[in-house]
Amino acid sequence: MLGWLVVTLVVLGLLFAVLQGNLSALGPSEAIDETMQIVAAMLFGAYALYLLFGHRGRLGQTVRYLAMWAILFLAFVGAYAYRTEITAVGYRVMGELVPPGQTVAIETTDAGERAVRVRRRPDGHFMARVEVNGSPVSMLVDTGASTVVLRPADAERAGIEIKNLNFSVPVQTANGTTFAAPVRLRSITIGGIEVRDVETLVSKPGNLKESLLGMTFLKRLRSYEFAGEFLTLRS
């Protein structure tokens, strides 16, 4: 009994994976759905015959086995029929469980599009964990910042030599005018989204508490939107 159960489930799983992975090559989705239903029905029928002829005299046990298989069959068909909705629910649950600052990939509707979601911190700000030139850095998402701005410590973590910088760009802050150094980052990556060759400023030591993920990164995205507790970025 257990052996047949394992073998049949493996066959169904492999068939499902093959069909899902190469739909365009096999024909219209309606034909694929029908094929899967026929194959599953044939397997279920074969097993039903095995139970009927292999367990003569034990009708009660046979009926229980058939009922269990019928439930599994319906569950499999239902999961396949609602695969899109189930995937969407999975992404939604992952988004709700993600801690502040941590990014999570979300479902996209367009081929080739990548999207990530960031949860708001308790203080109301969106702090994202990104990679700058391949090194991990926490950055405050700031649409009011015209450029990406790095603290000196974060710039050094990204491989920038602070002592060689020229702090010549005037920057207006809440405390008045200060100066920053222009640099170009090789890449900024957040989740599965990567933006290369990003114009950036490095602040003078002591002038910035948190690095800022500003518009020289955000405007290179396809879109970004704030909704409730989440920020969604799309490439």
Domains annotated on the chain, with CATH: 2-81 (no CATH), 100-234 (2.40.70.10)
Q: Give residue 212's pLDDT.
A: 95
Take residue 217 and report the two structure tokens written for it: 């990164």
User: Of 65-79, 156-170, 193-207, which range is least confident?
Assistant: 65-79
Q: What is the phi/psi pair of residue 122, to 5°?
A: -60, -25
More confident residue, 60 or 83: 60
State the first-to-last Cα distance of the chain, in angstroms, to the nearest integer.
Answer: 50
Report field, pTM of the whole predicted structure over 0.85: no
C-beta separation of 185 from 148 below 8 A: yes
- Which residues, at least 6 apart from 95, have a Cβ–Cβ distance to it below 8 Å? 104, 106, 117, 119, 230
Q: What is the rounded distance in angstroms from the CA atom of residue 200 to the CA atom of residue 64?
A: 68
Q: Give residue 2's pLDDT.
A: 45
Q: Give residue 114's pLDDT.
A: 87
